[in-house]
Structure 1
Amino acid sequence: MANETALPPTRPVTLEDDLAFLRGLHEQVLREAGGDTLLDLVQALVAACANPSTAESMASAQAIVGDLDAASTAAVTRAVTVHLHLTTLAEERQRARGLRAEDAESGEGIESGGVSPALSRLRGEAPELLDGLRIHPVLTAHPTEARRRAVTAALRRIATHLDLHDDPANGPAGRAFARRLLLEDISTLTRTASLRSTQPEPGDEVRTVMSIFDHTLFDIVPRLYRSVEAALPGADPGVSPPRVPAFLRFGSWVGGDRDGNPHVTAAVSRETVGLHAEQALTQLARAVDAVARAMTVDAAWSPPSDALREALANDAVAFPERFAQVEKSSPGEPHRQKMLIVAFRVEATRAQRAGAGYTDPDEMLADLALVQDSLVAAGDLRSAYGDLQHLIWLVETFGFHLAELEVRQHSAVHEAVLTELLAGLPDVTDPAAAAQDAHLLDRLARDGWPTGVHPTGERAEEVLDTIRVMAWLQERWGPRSCGRYIVSFSRNAADLAAVRALARLAVGTRPLRLTVVPLFETGADLENAPRILRDWAALPATIEHLESSGRVVEVMVGYSDSAKDVGPASATLTLGRAEEELVAWAREAGVQLTLFHGRGGSLGRGGGPLHRAIMAQPSGSVDGRFKVTEQGEVIFARYGDRTIGQRHLERLTSAVLLADEPERAAARDAAARRFADVAAVVDAQSRGCYRALVEQPGFADLLADVSPLDEIGELRLGSRPARRSGANSGRGLDALRAIPWVFSWAQTRVTLPGWYGIGSGLAAVDDLDALRAAYREWPLFASLIDVAEMSIAKSDREIGRAYLELGGRHDLTEQILTEFDLSKRLVLAVLDQEELLEHKPHLERAIGVRLPYVDALNHLQLRALRVLRLPTDPTSGQTRPDRQEWRRVLLLTVNGAAAGLQNTG
């Protein structure tokens, strides 16, 4: 007999449903705020941009915006930007909805990133690989997240109200209530200033990034370990000893990265780790308390072990007042009593109450293991291996420090400081040359400095104070809290020896576990990396460190500056070649190498699908260990939602496990050898083409003239200046950072850093069959082509031309557009496609729903740029009185386009 009370079936909510619903609410808000005039203007502009850009559609859009004053342009810009924020929200909801609906046995393929198929393929090797697995995301404060926290908070509220509105258990009244809340928050969003009024300080950036730990990571980390455990053959999670170690570690550059950021000081780094510890201990206290309050097992059914009884007796003496309260509130529940004591001690650690807190996480883990072992001995396996195991995983992953703070500084700063310090040595006649003498610096690191050497400048004092703070932090919060020191632009062994020499002067022989990490960024440095490492590894101080650390070495490779230096195709191939040589060096030197990938969010800085990038790494370069930066808007895109965050980490895990699977590695190596000649031609020709452009006189001026490059700093995206060396102009590419370089090109829709030179490189091969075979068989080459395809898909030739023409350099405009046409044509030919993204429907849809709105913002931005790049009104000849208003309009369009394009930096 049918169930007469069952609800009627409802079809799944689609992205289009969410977009239509949110668009309707937004239109109602716009009508209420400004009548129909603003809404009609927005709709007319978006309609003009609905089709691919042509001369006719460009003219139509420009006619709409051409007569707008600054206030009207700003209003339209804000309305379009809010729509793009809501579009991103709808996409995230649809993605999370789809992930939740997936069945674990739905037949997902290995390439989809599922943990289960990955472990099935590895079969008997899985347990051994899991034992050595280490995945290490490092969060950075690179200024690419254009949204204010107030905007993010409003969007989170809207997402919550959408869940309420879509809840099938909600009746008409409940849905009406949710709709009212949605209108209220969308109205608030439209009236919230999208531009920051003050420059963020490093502490603000620290708190922003830490919100991710609070909002998602503490929840999803144990879920990730459980999902991996459940995928193991014969697994029975929750009733047997865990077969998955805590393989995740998190790092952070926020508050530690001082390369080009004078606002990050030793005091900031000390405060940052204090905030990390406060957050970690607060979260652990909540987690322990939750486990303790649920562990109501009676001693009659789960008798305590002798070790637990002894521990409780000691606790009664050590913490008599607290123990008396615990014993009174939980009589006959010894396991709960111990957990409540653990909660008390974690809180005491957070409050820094001497004599009550834990000295380190290992002491806390020993208490948790004591409880777990006692429960196992009592036969209470579910209590032992359930939420208690989740808690153990949290402590093992986050410790008391949350994320290791990593220090980064430019090699040139160390060189300048050493030149100052070495000038005080009587036997040094040329301090500048001595600062680049690796053997001299190594002797100073081992034997110490002569007495009487003191810094005379603020920069030298700050460098030494930073190292002193690292030693203090390790003493207070343990070696994992802050021990890595990354040297940007490592050019030789002296750049690496410098850190230990400076450390010896700063802290003498005090304990300091210091891991020096070279960062190779330019094309030349990547090519020289193996030689630099050989020279460094031969130094006695390095040899001592390797022997004491288990011969573990970490090397960072940079995607951003290498691409800015030699172009995207050559950078990809140079990085692949450098990684192969680094693996060979590590084998020769007998060290365990971890490669640290400095990838950005944009396609011009190593962005794109991360799991595919891992699978494309040269054999042996992963080997179960993967460390990567997570930057700017990418952090919130990957970790802002629990479901999406867990799925991202699962895909990352499966890719790292499978990267060096023998069959896959053999095929990848064979393809790399087979297509080495193809790669050499693409590399040389694309690099030559790229350098021929960027070395042209006036090229840097062109970018500044046709884009918001010089205005980006006013967006106050982060605490770090947009240019190195305190440069006040964007006219020198060497001083310009990779982020504003990529950000500016993305705004113009030329997106040059993601594709320029690729067409010339492919054309030089002159063998389409070979190129197609390389795409099918060689993952590194496929990754190169796929990133180029995505980058070109986000470009717009006609809009790009309109920007380029602002610079008055017809020669450079034609050079860029000619290479664009060649790159698009040959990328499509290699892919054997008629249209871009033909075989990537999800990406095509994501870009497609945004493009009319992004195009609209481009036309609004072009209007602002034309006003600002002309100092006088062409009609009156007078200086425009509204230039400051238009400057603000330009910033609003930059902010909106960043929201629409997503991976801008």
Structure 2
Amino acid sequence: MTAPLAPHENRRGSARHEVPEPLRNDVRVLGEFLGRVLREAGGEELLNDVERLRELSIRAHDEPEGDALALAEELVAGFSLDRAEQVARAFTCYFHLANTAEEYHRVRVLREREANADPHALTPDDSLPAAVVKLAEEVGDDEARRRLREVEFRPVLTAHPTEARRRAVSRSIRRIAELVAERDVRSSGGVSLAENDRRLLAEIDTLWRTAPLRQAKPSVLDEVRTVLGVFESTLADVLPAVYRRLDDWLLDGEAGTTQPVVRPFARLGSWIGGDRDGNPNVTAEVTRSAAQLASEQVLIELEKSARRTAAGLTLDGAGTPASSELNALWQRQRSLSEPIATRVSAESPNEPHRRELLFVVERLA
């Protein structure tokens, strides 16, 4: 049998030739793994039903005047409820995997474009540095820098009223995306690829076996936790990277050795749990809980960031002595909590820089 759920050879006529080869390969690999999962879960019969419906759907698209649509409807009408659910879940999994491959391919293209660019050259037209250059051409360098310091970006997150996908499914898709990316940087064969295959198959099997929808309507606080998951998995890392890249370009060789040119300009907001549009489930107590959850998540991310920074500051005090400002800061910290100061001093003897950050870590925790 041909690889199940891989892109069809005659799919949508010439459209097949417009799909980049790396993307086509990713979809093929993911489709093959899903086919193995379906065969193990429901036997050859389930796989055949899925393949038959897929082929008829493609034919119906390519030949709208033919009989493929009627045959597809007849096939579906003959499914039992259990088989219909299995087939629907199979297609849901496939579309999750195809979308994941497509999203990663966009990342791949951007990385390739960046890898081929001069690191000190102007980045593409859709970038922040390019916007700064264009602004400087219009108003001058000094005015462009002044306006840049006043930039504000305030995305406000909200819940979609029809969003029923579970966080467990979103996390599974995220892990699959990471494994797809890993295949790009690992060797083309051998033990590393075999290990990636094994983990990818396990994740796709988990995705298949995970109930795709919530059994009960999510509460407002469930929606809050979902959006905080987005913050944890992406925004907490992406926003600092945006600041750093912009500073790398604006300061060139001085980046990291002097104060940033641009202050943090993103201020995240959320309507979830705080909207007052008549939702009876949003009470004062819910709003208070939503704020507490957001505060906790921010503190967790700050703690992780401070801990990572502390891990790299193992500078010996004899060779790299603390400045007078750092010593003064340490004295102020000791006055806040002598027990914490004693504990971190024991953990980092004669490492004043790391000691300072570990105190911050403890206070955040």
Give the TM bin, normalised by the shorter chain: 0.7 to 0.9
Distance 1:279 1:55, change over 3 A: same
**Alpha-carbon distance between aligned partners in 2 of 1:318 and 1:75, rounded to the nearest angstrom:** 60
**Which protein shows a greater Rg?**
1
Q: Deviations over 1:519-576 (max 9, x none)?
A: xxxxxxxxxxxxxxxxxxxxxxxxxxxxxxxxxxxxxxxxxxxxxxxxxxxxxxxxxx
Matches within 5 A, 1:745-756: none
Is 1:139 aligned to residue 147 of structure 2? Answer: no
Equivalent pair of 2:122/2:129 in contact (CA under 8 Å): no
**Alpha-carbon distance between aligned partners in 1 of 2:105 and 2:88, rounded to the nearest angstrom:** 26
Q: Structure 1: where are the runs of 5+ without partners?
A: 1-11, 348-905
- The amino acid across from 1:70 in the alignment is L
Q: Deviations over 1:3-22 (max 9, x none)?
A: xxxxxxxxx97110011111
- Residue aligned with 1:135, SS: coil
**Alpha-carbon distance between aligned partners in 1 of 2:113 and 2:97, rounded to the nearest angstrom:** 24
**Alpha-carbon distance between aligned partners in 2 of 1:215 and 1:116, rounded to the nearest angstrom:** 26
Matches within 5 A, 1:1-400: 14-50=22-58, 51-52=61-62, 54-56=64-66, 57-103=68-114, 104-105=117-118, 109-110=124-125, 113-123=126-136, 124=141, 125-169=143-187, 171-232=189-250, 236-347=254-365
**Alpha-carbon distance between aligned partners in 2 of 1:177 and 1:308, rounded to the nearest angstrom:** 47
Deviation at 1:75, TM superposition (A): 2.3
- Residue aligned with 1:136, SS: coil
Deviation at 1:161, TM superposition (A): 3.5
TM-score for both structures, normalised by structure 1: 0.35
Deviation at 1:235, TM superposition (A): 5.9
Equivalent pair of 1:120/1:232 in contact (CA under 8 Å): no
Aligned length: 334
- The amino acid across from 1:119 in the alignment is V
- The amino acid across from 1:89 in the alignment is T
**Alpha-carbon distance between aligned partners in 2 of 1:278 and 1:208, rounded to the nearest angstrom:** 14
Deviation at 1:251, TM superposition (A): 0.2
- Residue aligned with 1:47, SS: helix
**Alpha-carbon distance between aligned partners in 2 of 1:195 and 1:283, rounded to the nearest angstrom:** 29
Deviation at 1:133, TM superposition (A): 0.2
- Residue aligned with 1:29, SS: helix
Distance 1:253 1:53, change over 3 A: farther
Q: Deviations over 1:222-271 (max 9, x none)?
A: 11011112232756311222111111110011111242421111111111
**Alpha-carbon distance between aligned partners in 1 of 2:321 and 2:43, rounded to the nearest angstrom:** 72
Deviation at 1:135, TM superposition (A): 0.5
Q: Which residue of 1 aligns with 2:4?
A: none
**Alpha-carbon distance between aligned partners in 2 of 1:80 and 1:159, rounded to the nearest angstrom:** 18
- Residue aligned with 2:50, SS: helix
Equivalent pair of 1:297/1:333 in contact (CA under 8 Å): yes
Distance 1:319 1:186, change over 3 A: closer
Q: Which residue of 2 aligns with 1:708?
A: none
Equivalent pair of 2:186/2:193 in contact (CA under 8 Å): no
Q: Deviations over 1:602-649 (max 9, x none)?
A: xxxxxxxxxxxxxxxxxxxxxxxxxxxxxxxxxxxxxxxxxxxxxxxx
Equivalent pair of 1:108/1:117 in contact (CA under 8 Å): yes
Matches within 5 A, 1:497-896: none
Equivalent pair of 2:247/2:255 in contact (CA under 8 Å): yes
Distance 1:53 1:320, change over 3 A: same
- The amino acid across from 1:64 in the alignment is L
Equivalent pair of 1:135/1:248 in contact (CA under 8 Å): yes
- The amino acid across from 2:166 in the alignment is R
Equivalent pair of 2:164/2:214 in contact (CA under 8 Å): no
- The amino acid across from 1:200 in the alignment is P
**Alpha-carbon distance between aligned partners in 2 of 1:38 and 1:117, rounded to the nearest angstrom:** 52
- The amino acid across from 1:54 in the alignment is P
Deviation at 1:215, TM superposition (A): 1.4
Equivalent pair of 1:299/1:332 in contact (CA under 8 Å): yes
**Alpha-carbon distance between aligned partners in 1 of 2:288 and 2:100, rounded to the nearest angstrom:** 36
Equivalent pair of 1:115/1:231 in contact (CA under 8 Å): no
Deviation at 1:98, TM superposition (A): 1.7
- The amino acid across from 1:95 in the alignment is R
Distance 1:176 1:109, change over 3 A: closer
Structure with the largest fraction of strand: 1
- The amino acid across from 2:262 in the alignment is V
TM-score for both structures, normalised by structure 2: 0.82
Deviation at 1:301, TM superposition (A): 4.8
**Alpha-carbon distance between aligned partners in 2 of 1:219 and 1:119, rounded to the nearest angstrom:** 23
Matches within 5 A, 1:425-504: none
Deviation at 1:180, TM superposition (A): 2.7
Equivalent pair of 1:258/1:264 in contact (CA under 8 Å): yes
Equivalent pair of 1:120/1:233 in contact (CA under 8 Å): no
**Alpha-carbon distance between aligned partners in 1 of 2:55 and 2:189, rounded to the nearest angstrom:** 36
- Residue aligned with 1:228, SS: helix
Distance 1:61 1:235, change over 3 A: same
**Alpha-carbon distance between aligned partners in 2 of 1:35 and 1:313, rounded to the nearest angstrom:** 69
- Residue aligned with 1:180, SS: helix
Q: Deviations over 1:640-667 (max 9, x none)?
A: xxxxxxxxxxxxxxxxxxxxxxxxxxxx
Deviation at 1:77, TM superposition (A): 1.5
**Alpha-carbon distance between aligned partners in 2 of 1:136 and 1:55, rounded to the nearest angstrom:** 50
**Alpha-carbon distance between aligned partners in 2 of 1:109 and 1:326, rounded to the nearest angstrom:** 46
Distance 1:157 1:332, change over 3 A: closer
- The amino acid across from 1:19 in the alignment is V
Deviation at 1:299, TM superposition (A): 4.3
**Alpha-carbon distance between aligned partners in 1 of 2:96 and 2:40, rounded to the nearest angstrom:** 20
Relative contact order: is structure 1 or structure 2 higher (C-alpha 8 Å, sep ≥ 6)?
1
**Alpha-carbon distance between aligned partners in 1 of 2:251 and 2:361, rounded to the nearest angstrom:** 35
- The amino acid across from 2:88 in the alignment is T
Q: Structure 2: where are the runs of 5+ without partners?
A: 1-19
Q: Deviations over 1:706-764 (max 9, x none)?
A: xxxxxxxxxxxxxxxxxxxxxxxxxxxxxxxxxxxxxxxxxxxxxxxxxxxxxxxxxxx
C-alpha RMSD of the superposition: 2.6
Deviation at 1:127, TM superposition (A): 0.8
Matches within 5 A, 1:413-424: none
**Alpha-carbon distance between aligned partners in 1 of 2:123 and 2:317, rounded to the nearest angstrom:** 46
- The amino acid across from 1:46 in the alignment is R
Distance 1:336 1:69, change over 3 A: closer
